[in-house]
Structure formats: C-alpha cells, structure tokens
Structure 1
Amino acid sequence: LKLIDDLRENNISVTAIVITRYSGQTAANTFQKRLKRHGLQVFLHREIPGYPSHIEEVVSEEGFGRNPYIPVTRPLVVVTGPGPSSGKMATCLNQIYHESQQRHTARYAKFETFPVWNLPLNHPLNIAYEAATADLSDNNAIDNFHYDAYGVMAVNYNRDLQTFPLLQGLLSRITGSNAKYQSPTDMGVNCITSGFCDDKAIQQAAREEIIRRFFQYYAAMQSGQGDEKTFERIEEILHKANLRPEDRKVVKAARQTALDCEAAGKGDNGIYCGAAIRLRDGTIITGKNSPLMHSAASMILNAGKHLAQLPDSQHLLLPEIMESVANFKNGLGTRKRVGLDLSETLIALVVSASRDSYAKRALDCLHLLEHCDVHLSHIPGGGDEAALRHLGCSYTYDPISPTRNLFFA
C-alpha cells in the first residue's frame, strides 16, 4: 500500500495489482477485498507447475494461458513489487505471452541499479550490493554470456546468471526469436555511472554502507530475527572489502563514550551507554545516558548546541518542562525509568523553543543532521529509533541491551 502511495505521489498511475502464486489463501483473499475497497483492480495469478524449467508446459494454454491478461492503455508499463522473488518477471512474461497470442509485439527489460555492470567486480559499490543482499546469498560475478557475445566484461549476479538460459528459452518460445537478448546484462537498463562525478566519495559511501549492513545483520542475529549463515556471509563481505566495524568513525566514539560514562560513575542505574554523531564537516559529537535522558537524546542536544554555537553548559530544555514530563511518565506507573528518549526530548525541545531563544537556535539547526552517521553503544528504544529516522540520520548500534530487563520498548 505504501508503494502505491509512493507511485501516486510521483504521478505514476497504478493500473492493477497482481497477487502471484495464488491458491486461495485466506490472507490473500482478505488483502484482495481490501484493495478492491480502495477502487484498485486486482488480478490473481496462480502458480504454474514446473515454472520456469518446464518450458513446453509453461508457455501453453495450461501455463501462462491460465493466468489472466492485464489490460493496459500505455505503450510503456512498469511492473514493480515490494521485494525480491515477488513475481515481477513472471508477470512480465505472462503479459508478453498474452500479447503474442494477440499478435502484438511486446518486449521486456529490467531497470536494475545494482550490481553496476560497467564497474569493476570488486568496486566497493558492487560489494555494497552483496552486503545489502547477504540474506539472499547474492554473489556478483562476471557475465560470461555477455563476454561470449560481445567480448566485453560486465558484472552481474548469480541468480540472473543461473536463470538466464531458462529465461532466454521462455522468451524464445513465446516470441519465436531470441535475437534481442544475448546476456542477462542485455536485459538491464542501467546508466548510473553516467552520473558519477566523484568516485572517491562514492567508494567511501559504499564502504560506510557495507559496515551499516554488518551491524544490521549482527543485530538481527542477536535478536533471533536473523540466522548465523547470513551473519557469516556479511563477515565474509566485510573481509573482502578490507573493512572492520570500527572503520566507521562513530563506532569508536560511541563505545569510548560509554566507557568514559562508566569511568566517571555516571549512567543510569548501573547502565552506561554512549552515542556519537558525525556532522557534515566531520566533527564528532557524543552523548551519555543519565537518569534524565537516553544517550541518543543527549547526543542530539549536544549536536544542536554545537551547530548553534552555544556553550556546552547551556541548558536547552526548560526545567519545568522536564519536571512535567518526568512526573507524567512516573505517574503512568508503567515505567520504573523516567529518562527521556529522543522522541520525548525533541517534543520537550520544541515546547522549550517557544519560550527560550537558545532552545530555538538549537532546534533550527537540527535539519543539518540529515544523512549524518550515528552509532549507539546499546540497542535503541522505539522512541530513539523513531526520532533518528525522523531526523534522517544513518544510525547503527551494538546489539547490547540498555537495561537488565528482558523486555524493553
């Protein structure tokens, strides 16, 4: 549903929704009704036995012929989906089959950004693609079909290379010709390198992304939402890129801040957390946790003071507002800890800014935190994560609990 909203915001009309591999599932029926109530056309494509390897059966009235054709009015149609293996290619082939049956000529191409076919195999940007798909076990490789056809080196990935002979066979069977596509790379539309103006910056951004993905998979494994195989894969990718988690500068800073917090006897109830953000000019600002607020909240307030050129000693949150929020949280009786998370801190800052010029100056600078790198030494709570996303920060964290409780939010 969000994808539909995003497309409409960009003035791209949505003709229809296709539910693939349909076999009468209750959840699919419920979702179909929901879509129809929104006035959307819904088509059901059932799973085709033997797809894609049994070409004779697939390209027949009992294969693609059983699934309905989706009427379109434009010469160029975009087929997209919410993720990998959602049936995009099968939907395209189904359309081409029905167009062919009507004696219309239809073609298919993929708009696929990564891996970048005309960059070196081990360019950090292509390795970053492997990091992003570590859970799918994608591996980049040289497209041997492209080299055999044109004598040109091109980069593709394992799933496309493995399925190309089958896809080529399906297209040949449907259209009666395979002259158009000689390789998986032929099928892709990718001109991204034409927009490169600073390869050094691109490589560094790709390295940062690889490390971010490492922390993402590490946290997923520790929480039980990911598996060890995926984590081993991201470790291999990190090693291939010659990187360590600590190469992300904010990681060292956040961890050291947590150690400093403990050494100073601060923290909250024996828990010592650190947070660090790297500003656009490279300056690193840190924050510690305390009984008053989380480390992420302290970090953002400190960053606001730095950007507004205010002294560290300047308080931004009015005492009466802090006291009111703490009393409210304590009065709910649902939390033993009343320290403000980042979302609550930002609300308090907004209220304070209406009455305090220093708070307003800091608040007016927070838009400069967009795209800044952040690392937390502990797992952020829901209020911290939501606010970091709202600020547009690229955050990672060590999967260490910030409380002795088994459950926290």
Structure 2
Amino acid sequence: MTDMLSENEVAQHADLFSKFDPLIKMRADLLSTGVTDPFGLVMERVLSPTVAMCNGRETILLGTYNYMGMTFDPDVIAAGKQALDDFGSGTTGSRVLNGTYSGHKAVEQALCDFYDMKHAMVFSTGYQANLGIISTIAGKGDYIVLDIDSHASIWDGCKMGDAEVVPFKHNDIEAMEKRLRRIPEGAGKLVVLEGVYSMLGDIAPLKEMIAVAKKYGAMVLVDEAHSMGFIGENGRGVAEAQGCLEDVDFVIGTFSKSVGTVGGFCVSNHPKFEVMRLVCRPYVFTASLPPSVVATACTSVRKLMHAGDKRAHLWENSKTLHKGLTDAGFELGTKEPQSAIISVIMPDLERGAGMWEALLHEGLYVNLARPPATPANMTLLRCSLCAEHSAEQVQQIIGMFTRAGKTVGIIA
C-alpha cells in the first residue's frame, strides 16, 4: 500500500521506547567500561540464607532482605511441601471466588495473632498490598500526605486512587504538619509513613508524626516491610518499638523480607475493614497465593513470635558491621545503626559499580542502588544483614569491603 509509512518513519513517529533512551545509554556506558552487569546476576544455587553460588564460586549474601533467615527453616520448608501434596501447586482463582483455602485463613489468623489486631488481609505481593489499600481507602477528593522518600508501591497506590497527593521532606515532622494544616476542613486525610526506609536504612520518628497526624484528624498507614520480624520487642516493627502501634490504623507488610517467602498483607483494627475484600481491586482481581506459599508464611510468622534471640543477634550484627565499615573509612547512610540495612555511599555510579564488582570478586554480594530510586541522586551499596550471619561472617564482610575499597580507591 502506497500510503503506508516505512519502518523508519514509523519508528520516528511512534517509538514508545524513546523515553527510556537516557537509561539505555547509561547502562550501555556502564557496561562499556567492562564491569559485570550489576543488575543481571544469577544465583546458580542457594546453599543457605547467607551463602549462594554466583559465577561458580561460594558467595556471602549481603543483599537479600532475608533478615530473619527463614528461607531454609526446616519447619517452614516442611509446611510448604505438605501443602503442595495436600492442595496442589496453585489456586487458579481470586480470593473472592475459589481462591480462599484453609491456608489463607490460617496465615491471616497468624498475622492477627502476631500483631494482636482484629483484621488481616493477605495479597499476592507486598507491592499489591500498598497498591490496593492506599488506592481503595483514599480516592478522589481525599488527601494523602506522605514522605517524599516513600517506596514506589506507595506512590503507585496514590496515583491509582486519584487522591490529592501532598509529599513532605523526608522525616521532617514540621513539614508534615504544615501540609496537614493546609488541607480543607472535613476532607478525608491519610498519612503514609514507613518504619524503615529501605535505601538508607533509617527509621521514621513515628511516635511524633502519628501524634501530629491524629491532631489533624488523619488516618495513618505505616509500611513496616523492612522492620517486621526484627524491630520491636515482639518484632512488630518501629511503631511497636516507639510505643505507638495502637495509634496506627493500617500496618502494611510483606512476606518477602523477614518471613522468607512472597506475598503482602495489611492488618488493622478498623471495624469496617472487612469491606476491603469486596472493593479493593488488586485483591479482587488477582489470583491468590499458592497453598505452599501461605503454608510457609503461616509457619514462619508463628515462629517469628518467639524469635527474640534471633532479633538480638541481628542487632549485634548490624552494630558490628556499621562500626567496622565506619572505622575502615566508608561513608554510611546513617550515623548510627538503625535497622538491618546499612548503606555505603559511593562517589558515583561508575565507581559504585566497580566497587560492587570488586566485592563480588571477593565473594560478597550486595545491592547496587542507583538514581532515580535513591534519595538525593546517590549511588549506594546497600547491605541487608541476616540473623543467620555468624559473627565470623560479619568480620569477613568487613575485610572484603576494606580490600575492595582500597582496590577501587573508595577509601585510602
């Protein structure tokens, strides 16, 4: 047909990928230096919560968010195998249709018991938990006041729900109050916070922030994805540690960190919470988690209720690594250890990738985090400790960082 455009003309007029050109160039420039692709690593075999085979060699894992080391717990694995035998590999249906099995109710009850709350709702991922809860409870005409460093799933939940979104400077109580003060009287208000922020590993001043939110009649949602299982006397998160959990309306969490499997959840004491099962689209229109996954999650959550020794050991690991890296001369994201995440600030992406590769050659895997996901356009090597890391492994890690840092020129 003579009126059809050539392929080149179509590309010029309708290349929907052109918006990604800066990222494509950045990746190409990085790989042209000869560095291994830091975003394409393959775990060839996982030997334990702290060791895997990468590029044919044993590698210490320091970037997996497996905070409590539950992925190889014998009871957890046995529960998953039994559920596979008893219920098969998947539900092939939504929770509101054929996708609610006894295991889904059991894990929701375990979450209620863990948090001492009345309602729990399980999603297929942690991302969907934020997406679903935020977009459903705050809609057109409502206001969401949130920390500027909030996770992508929080921002996407805001966008999907069509509420007015009002961000404030990270962890700035005064800035949050200024935003709340300007919201029209009588409007629906939701304040969204995180217990631990995953990039730098810093915690929020939840007690003060929640008090301000309640002063202005706002409901409060706290994402405890990176603190659940570890922080707080019972592992309920930063809100528990700061003594304000009873003032939180919704707690969001995930099974893919301390629990050691996959899935997300929301717990609440709100008397109308159960209606969410009928109106929350990412819950209603998604197949439910496989029986083996909810069985492993249920077993893990119940074991985390009695994991005080593990929590204490993880704190010791965090303090030791933070001090060791600081003493070696690295710049860290927090002055003191605040969580199981310790971020090491790199001068730029190229040297950050070089440091990442040098650590991999040493036998250590960490996360390379880059803009725009990071605050203030920082490049970070993000370390997430595990309760199963031995004291000896932590000392090994400090040595690996020191040698790699000197090789790459990050430290003197």
Q: TM-score, normalised by structure 2?
A: 0.26
Higher strand share: 2
Rg larger in structure = 1
Q: TM-score, normalised by structure 1?
A: 0.27
